[in-house]
Every structure is written in C-alpha cells, then in structure tokens.
Amino acid sequence: MKIVIGLGSCGIASGGLKVKEEFEKLLSANPNAGAELAETGCMGMCYKEVNVEIIEDGGRSTIYGEVDAERAREIFENHVLGGKPVEDYVVRSSYGENEHDAFFNGQYRYVLDRCGKINPESIDEAIAAGAYRGAEKALKTMTPEEIIDEVLKSGLKGRGGAGFPTGQKWKFARAPKADQKYIICNADEGDPGAFMNRSVLEGDPHAVIEGLLIGGYAIGATEGYIYARAEYPLAIKRLKIAIAQAEERGYLGKNVMGTGFDFHLHIKEGAGAFVCGEETALIASIEGQRGMPRMRPPFPANRGLFGKPSNINNVETLAVVGRIIADGAEKYTTLGTEKSSGTKVFALAGKVKRGGLAEVPLGTTLRDVIYGIGGGTVSGKPLKAVQMGGPSGGCIPADLLDTPIDYDTLAATGAIMGSGGMIVMDEDNCMVDIARYFLTFIQSESCGKCTFCRIGTRRMLEILTRITKGEGQEGDIELLEELAMQIKRSSLCGLGQTAPNPVLSTIRYFRDEYEAHIRDKKCPAHQCKALIRYEIHEDKCVGCTVCARKCPVEAISGSAKKPHTIDQEKCIKCGICKSACRFDAITVD
C-alpha cells in the first residue's frame, strides 16, 4: 500500500507537512503496516487541500480531502490498517462515484498528466511515466528542421498569453547563424491569481527541462535559462533537484544521450517585477539590468540574451513539447479546435466552489469549466463575471458563459486567453472596484519607460479611485475610454498596450454599474466603502451585544436586550458586525 501526500505550495500552505509528519509517526509506530509514504506535487483539487491518496496493492485508489493530523490518524487506523476507506473524507475513489468526480470528469490532463501522480523529486518516477521519451526521439531520430515541422504541424501556440505559434518562433530562432544561441523558459508567472506554471514546475519539473532540451536542439542553442519568480521557492528547489538529476543521467550537460549535442541549463531567480514577463525585459533582467522592455525589432530571435539569437517560451508550452514529439503532432491536433489545438491549464479561483487546476481541451465553454468542473459559485449567489488573462485581460459577463475557450473567440469578447488565470466573481463583487484593482497593480508595475503607460495609467487610476469614492463626474467614463485608447496605441510593450483592458471590458459590459457610482453615488455590489452604510434594524435586533463587542472602533452602542445603533461617523465599514449578527438585523445599503 502507498500513502501519497500532495505537497505542492497549496498543500504545504494548508498544512501538508504536518500531515506528512503524522503519517511518518504512525508508520514508525506500526512498522508492519505494509505501507510506504510517498509525496507528489499538486493533485489539482486545491479546494480540498491537503490531499492524500491511498493506493492499495491491487492498484485501487482513494483520494482524501482536507486531511489534517486527526484525519490522518483516522485514515491510517481504518483504511491503511483496517482496509476500510473513511467515506466521509473521500473526494475521489475507484470504489465508486463521488460528488467531486465532476471536477476531474470535465478535464483532459495532457500537460498535467504526471502532476500529482509522480514524485517530482524522482527522475526515475518521471522517466517511468514517460518523461524524456520525446527528447530521445527528437535528438536521436530527428533533424532540427523535422522537429520544428512537427511542432508547427501540432498547431501549438505559446501558452504565456500572446498565443504566437511556437513552431514559427523556433523557426525564426533557428534561422540566424551565430556562435551562441539561447533558449529561455519564462517562468515569471506574475499575473495575480494565476498558479498554473507554479504547479507544473512543482509537480513535473522534468517536463519543462525536456521541452527546453528539445527546443534548444531545434534552434541550435547549447545554453538554456529558466527565469523563475523568486516568490516560488519550492518550484525553484525542485527545478534545481531535477536539473542535477538530469545532468547525472546524461539528459543535460555535454554529449546529451550520446548524441554529441551539448546542453547546459541555468536557473535565474527573478526579483519581483511583473514587467519581466515581457521577453525583452526578461532578457534585460537576466543580464543584470533593470527589467525594462526595449523596442522590437530586432526581435530576440535575432538579437536576444547577451546580444545573441534567443528564443523564449512559457512553462506550459515547453512542458507539452516532449509529449507532442513523443505522441506525434497528429494526436495533439485531435485535441481542441481546428484553429486552437491542444489543451490549456487554467487556475480556477475566486468565488468558485471547486477551485484548483483545470486542464481542458480548447473549445470547451466557460460554462463547462466554471459550472461543470468548478461547481459554480461558492456562495450559491449568481455568477456575475469571470476575469480572464489577469491585468492584461478582461471580465466576461455571465451571459457570455457559453463562449468557447479559444484564442479568437475570447479576444472578441474583450478578454484574452492569457496565461490561464480564471477568477470567478459573484454579485457581491463591484466591477468598478475590480477595474481599479487591476489598474492599481499595473500602475505600480509599470516600468516607467513610456509616458502613456507611466502617467496615463496613473490618471486612469485617479479617475477610478474618485468614482469608487463617490466623487465621480459626468464625462469620467468617456475620459477613461479616451485615455485607454491612447495608452494602448502609444505603449512600447505588451504590458502597457493591454493595461487598459480590465477597464475597457468592465465599461463595455457593466457601464450601468459605473453610472450608478457616478450619478446615484451608489455601489450596487455594496463594496465601495464610501458609498455604503451599515444599519441595524430595530425590529430584528435582540440586543445580544455581539456586534458591539466585535466592532473594532466601538461604533456600535446600546444596552443589552435593547436594539443597538451604529454611529456612522465612527463606522469604518469593515462589515464585521454584519457577519457577526446571527439575526440578520444588520443590512448594508
């Protein structure tokens, strides 16, 4: 029997290490239990962390959710020792159906195939599960041109957001003759609300290394870099382990797999700058400069890192390359749609019931992902919008949920595919506030090189802030639109060109909400503090004094068993009283 603990960052944050410790203790106290402990990356069900899988000797699997030390003891006692699963905590089982099955049933795990199954720190498990098959085939039996052709045929597009055909990009980098070329993996996953790349790096680092190796061979680069976010210490740690193992086994280093091809891989840790996700800024950062984008052309394929031809791909793009080569391009084109082939991993989060990693074939509708896999909103309230593509993307309203997820259709809605963040919002979320949120982010991350991005986003933020404070004026919406168009047209890099998208898409679909803020001085979602008021209803208040005791600013007064009142002057609108009231006596308007 095998006890497998999901130890991705989410799992660890939820207490996975304590669960592991508990199982270690139980196993050493019961040396004859006939079970071994193993760890893996993220199993995908982030909403049920900590996940523990029990694999019986016959191969039957049971996954438990929300495991803590106490549940670990119960599971050990009943299932590991007693052979009887603890039904109450089961989230997926080969013994029978389960309400959580829907989370997996709608998915097609191609990129995530090995994530949550193998031990990411064991190259043997990765190889046994198919890692480096593609690299062997590519380096031993194919010419670089054949590889590029195969990737072109697969229709794979860059999964970082822009969606440029990967084969095409490799072709451009293959073309120039140079004494040195570089291939770079962009693992600077900076979009707030996105964790797809982190999970792949933590769960299956060898897939990314394999992709870099194949790509390096295809374009003629003998040096590779992985530019990883410093906020992802576990991903970096596992990458380092994986690189050392790959070197030892001859998948990296001199004379890779006896083919005569040399390939060396380095990790560069980012230092916290969103703009470094842009390729020329990323290159500047590896070179030790401030991470500011530069004019293109020359494109990195001609003049990239240290002035040499370079190619940059996203983590998810590289992670699937090995499989495309191993399985053949045709298999990949059977997934997804004609124009958008393959699968895409989404980080489903926000106010969704079942949040986590969801990989679906392109062409799947938003509804299938959010309701089918995600189970709808956690509050049970109507879904209002889904935000896709992070600060460069936009909000898609509920009535467009039947939109299929592919590059062109999403772009037509004003959002973008983006790198895969999918944030669900319900009716309690204010769309003006969401726009202001993204602009705040963009404003502080603008590198400052282009005037329109640097100052334009600041002016937009000022306008949005004043709207959320109830100081909006007639003409503000039009002014926002005008500024947005100018920023889009006049910025050098993708960050600036897409910066106004969250504002434009919310104006497009939720203009009435902007107008309510500006004209009626009301926030329909009751979120903008300056526009709301908490009140206690005399007829419902029983004078239990809970709210008065919970109020952090002593704004609530009244004697016991008598209706209380809120001093509006003192109230900071934190909402603690409302959530503390058990009699629904406090309302917000």
Partner 1 sequence: MCGKCCGKSEAYLKPFEDIMADFEGKESDLIPILQRIQAAYGYLPEDVIRELSERTGIFVTKIMGVATFYSQFRLEPIGEHTIRVCFGTACHVNGAEAIADALSDELKVPVGGTTPDGKFTLESVACLGCCSLAPVITIDDETYGRLTADKARDIIRDMYAKEGAK
192 binds partner 1 (CB under 8 A): yes
Helix (H) or strand (E) holding 318: helix 315-327
Segment interacting with partner 1, rule: CB under 8 A, options 43-51, 162-170, 179-187, 485-493: 43-51
**392 touches 419 (CB < 8 A):** no
143 binds partner 1 (CB under 8 A): no
Cis peptide before 553 (omega within 30 of 0): no
Residues in the chain, how many? 589
**184 touches 310 (CB < 8 A):** yes
271 binds partner 1 (CB under 8 A): yes
Q: Which is nearer to partner 1, 285 or 340 (CB)?
A: 285
Q: Which is nearer to partner 1, 134 or 291 (CB)?
A: 291
39 binds partner 1 (CB under 8 A): no
In the complex, the smallest distance separating the C-beta of residue 160 from partner 1, rounded to whole angstroms, is: 16
In the complex, the smallest distance separating the C-beta of residue 192 from partner 1, rounded to whole angstroms, is: 4
Q: Which of 254, 290, 511, 570 binds partner 1 (CB under 8 A)?
A: 290
Q: Which is nearer to partner 1, 175 or 572 (CB)?
A: 572
Q: Which is nearer to partner 1, 10 or 480 (CB)?
A: 10
Show contacts of 14-17: CB within 8 Å, 24+ apart.
Answer: 14/49, 14/50, 15/50, 15/68, 16/49, 16/50
Helix (H) or strand (E) holding 4: strand 2-6
Tell me the Ramachandran region of residue 373: left when phi exceeds 0, alpha when psi lies from -120 to 50, beta otherwise: alpha
Q: Which is nearer to partner 1, 148 or 571 (CB)?
A: 571
380 binds partner 1 (CB under 8 A): no
In degrees rounded to 5, what are phi and psi of residue 91? Answer: -110, -20
DSSP letters for 370-425: IIIIT-SBSS-SPEEEEEESGGGSEEEEGGGTT-B-SHHHHHHHT----SSEEEEE
Q: Which is nearer to partner 1, 144 or 203 (CB)?
A: 203
How many CA atoms lie less than 13 Å away from 30 in the CB half-sphere?
16
Segment interacting with partner 1, rule: CB under 8 A, options 73-81, 172-180, 270-278, 334-342: 270-278
Q: What are the CA-CA distances from residue 115 to residues 39, 112, 125, 475 (Å)?
A: 11, 5, 11, 51
**Secondary structure in 3-state letters for 344-366:** EEEEEEECECCCEEEEEECCCEH
Q: Identify residues 560-589 at the interface with partner 1 (CB under 8 A).
A: 572, 574-576, 579
Q: Which is nearer to partner 1, 210 or 316 (CB)?
A: 316
In the complex, the smallest distance separating the C-beta of residue 433 from partner 1, rounded to whole angstroms, is: 8
189 binds partner 1 (CB under 8 A): yes
Q: Which is nearer to partner 1, 65 or 494 (CB)?
A: 65
* CA gap 48, 422 in Å, rounded: 18
Take residue 350 and report the two structure tokens written for it: 């926000």
285 binds partner 1 (CB under 8 A): yes
Segment interacting with partner 1, rule: CB under 8 A, options 10-18, 99-107, 167-175, 310-318: 10-18
Q: Which is nearer to partner 1, 144 or 309 (CB)?
A: 309
272 binds partner 1 (CB under 8 A): yes
Q: Enumerate residues 6+ apart whose C-beta is below 8 A from 436.
A: 461, 464, 465, 467, 468
Segment interacting with partner 1, rule: CB under 8 A, options 21-29, 194-202, 476-484, 508-516: 194-202
136 binds partner 1 (CB under 8 A): no
In the complex, the smallest distance separating the C-beta of residue 308 from partner 1, rounded to whole angstroms, is: 13
Q: Enumerate residues 6+ apart whose C-beta is below 8 A from 28.
A: none
Q: Which is nearer to partner 1, 54 or 357 (CB)?
A: 357
Q: Which of 288, 295, 334, 399 binds partner 1 (CB under 8 A)?
A: 288
194 binds partner 1 (CB under 8 A): yes
Q: Which of 421, 472, 494, 496 binds partner 1 (CB under 8 A)?
A: 421
* CA gap 117, 84 in Å, rounded: 22
In the complex, the smallest distance separating the C-beta of residue 173 from partner 1, rounded to whole angstroms, is: 20
3-state SS assignment for residue 117? coil
Segment interacting with partner 1, rule: CB under 8 A, options 28-36, 255-263, 314-322, 431-439: 431-439
DSSP letters for 253-272: BSSGGGSS--BEEEEEE--S
**548 touches 589 (CB < 8 A):** no
493 binds partner 1 (CB under 8 A): no
Q: Identify residues 516-555 at the interface with partner 1 (CB under 8 A).
A: 550, 552
434 binds partner 1 (CB under 8 A): yes
Q: Which is nearer to partner 1, 232 or 534 (CB)?
A: 232
In the complex, the smallest distance separating the C-beta of residue 288 from partner 1, rounded to whole angstroms, is: 4
Q: Identify residues 349-368 at the interface with partner 1 (CB under 8 A).
A: 349-351, 355-356
Q: Which of 287, 520, 538, 554 binds partner 1 (CB under 8 A)?
A: 287
**Secondary structure in 3-state letters for 464-492:** HHHHHCCCCCCCHHHHHHHHHHHHHHHCC
> Could you tell me the end-to-end alpha-carbon distance of the chain, in angstroms, rounded to an integer?
57
Q: Which is nearer to partner 1, 250 or 448 (CB)?
A: 448
Q: Identify residues 55-94 at the interface with partner 1 (CB under 8 A).
A: none
Q: Which is nearer to partner 1, 132 or 225 (CB)?
A: 225
Count of CB atoms situated within 10 Å of the CB of 192 = 12
425 binds partner 1 (CB under 8 A): yes
Count of positions on this chain that bind partner 1 (CB under 8 A)? 59
Encode burial over 216-237: b for 16+ CB neighbours within 10 A, e otherwise. bbbbbbbbbbbbbbeebebbbe
In the complex, the smallest distance separating the C-beta of residue 143 from partner 1, rounded to whole angstroms, is: 32
232 binds partner 1 (CB under 8 A): yes
**351 touches 425 (CB < 8 A):** yes
In the complex, the smallest distance separating the C-beta of residue 404 from partner 1, rounded to whole angstroms, is: 23
Helix (H) or strand (E) holding 37: strand 36-40
* CA gap 441, 458 in Å, rounded: 11
Residues that bind partner 1 (CB under 8 A): 9-10, 12-14, 46-47, 49, 189-195, 198, 230-232, 268-274, 285-291, 306, 347, 349-351, 355-356, 387, 390, 421, 423, 425, 429, 434, 437-438, 441, 445, 447, 550, 552, 572, 574-576, 579
